[in-house]
Structure 1
């Protein structure tokens, strides 16, 4: 396992930089929720927040968070992803601390109970034991801190298979405990909102908030990719949809924020 700080030291003081978050329809709901969460966590004390991105990949979330002035650490198993993170951080002019490792390594890589926020985005689908991975994350989270979990939604996958003509595959998704449509399914695991909130509760987290991510964007034709003239309107629609819990069932991904209890 390796440890290195990537990109120049420093960065703008927390809350003073222009918002560097990616403004796309598919990411709009997540970044809106993160902005609200960062504001509430920052209100509990002075100085930058300590943020850990477990399975942070190439820094798609970590670098914008560092650009806001927060102290960000990425723990990622892929050396290629870490190399890409280093380039991205350098281009953005920010510093991100990086370690090579998995969630099981968090307790040896990072101080216990120190992080204000831990991101666990698109990770639980792939780990051997989602419950253990979430427990590992909670170990580095301070009391009152938050975990942001983003994971594939099984019910939305069933809807998408039906739209492609795969009625039998959709039925398999609903019956399968891992939410898969068959042996050829490239996704190892999908979740329901109930399943994700159950995992957070078993890890000792409280007050879960569930939002749907990409309720409409993934139902549109390919011409609505990033850069389409209606991208801004679609992003606004996704932000509105995320605030309506009744739409979470058809969202491609589920975003759950839960908190480690105080004391």
Structure 2
């Protein structure tokens, strides 16, 4: 199995997620005795996670509703010299597109905020996961949403995010819903998953001016290390832009 791609210093924005995924890949390959895992990326878009996973030698299927994104995914995979299976559909369609017990790992990143029915989507994921398979969930956090709106001078929007049960600041909000750590854990538990620790993603990255890190690799590495330290901090985690959860199929 090739070791390029993820073994290099990861992008700061996704460093925490990749660190968690590396642990899952190691655990699942040890448990299954297979070096190549079957991975489904629901809503995987242009392959930001899928292509590096394929580079590592895993069999990756991306399910996404956008034909343009899937076309870009295929070009990206071709440039890297790997194959990624592309299927058009929504997360809730997984049961129709894939057989049951087909995946060792399912990525569900920035999906639950937008799907019509999050419970149906997660139930579909559970159906394609093998016993003890893992789901990786990445979702927007309402506390960060309020902070970012306030920093943009949109104080009424910030207050609306905090008041809305779904964490939205109104009809113009491009993110229909957001999740706290508690609501994310409750949602996963209600659909039959055994939930692990919740991590914060992009605690500082979205607040630090890009000029401070773009020209200095050492600064980028230091920021990535800071993000790792903040990911499970009992206070900082809950102000992160996104929350990341790993859960096993019960």
| TM-score tier after normalising by the smaller chain length | over 0.9
Q: Measured at CA, do residues 225 and 121 of structure 1 come closer, stay the same or move farther in structure 2, by a change above 3 Å? A: farther
Q: After the TM superposition, which parts of structure 1 deviate over 6 Å for at least 4 consecutive aligned residues?
A: none
Counterparts of 2:212 and 2:177, CA distance in 1? 27
- Structure 1 contact 51–116 (Cα < 8 Å) conserved: yes
Q: Which has the higher relative contact order, 1 or 2, with Cα contacts under 8 A spaced 6 or more apart?
A: 1
Counterparts of 2:85 and 2:168, CA distance in 1? 35
Secondary structure in 1 matching 2:13 = coil
> Could you tell me how far 1:247 is from its partner in structure 2?
1.8
Provide the residue aligned with 1:127 in structure 2. Answer: 115
Provide the residue aligned with 2:138 in structure 1. Answer: 150
Per the normalisation by structure 1, the TM-score is 0.89
Secondary structure in 1 matching 2:134 = strand
Provide the residue aligned with 2:4 in structure 1. Answer: 18
Provide the residue aligned with 2:160 in structure 1. Answer: 172
Provide the residue aligned with 1:237 in structure 2. Answer: 226
Higher percent of residues as helix: 2
CA deviations on 1:195-232 (whole Å, 9 max, x unpaired) are 11111001100133210000001111242465544111
Provide the residue aligned with 1:6 in structure 2. Answer: none
> Could you tell me how far 1:117 is from its partner in structure 2?
0.4
Do structure 1's residue 33 and structure 2's residue 20 form an aligned pair?
yes
Q: How many residues align?
A: 247
Counterparts of 1:112 and 1:172, CA distance in 2? 41
- Structure 1 contact 24–226 (Cα < 8 Å) conserved: no
Q: Measured at CA, do residues 200 and 68 of structure 1 come closer, stay the same or move farther in structure 2, by a change above 3 Å? A: same
- Structure 1 contact 209–257 (Cα < 8 Å) conserved: yes
- Structure 2 contact 198–232 (Cα < 8 Å) conserved: no
Secondary structure in 2 matching 1:74 = strand
Q: Select which of 90, 96, 99 maps to 2:87.
A: 99
Provide the residue aligned with 1:51 in structure 2. Answer: 39
Provide the residue aligned with 2:244 in structure 1. Answer: 255
Q: Select which of 184, 188, 192 maps to 1:200.
A: 188
> Could you tell me how far 1:114 is from its partner in structure 2?
2.2
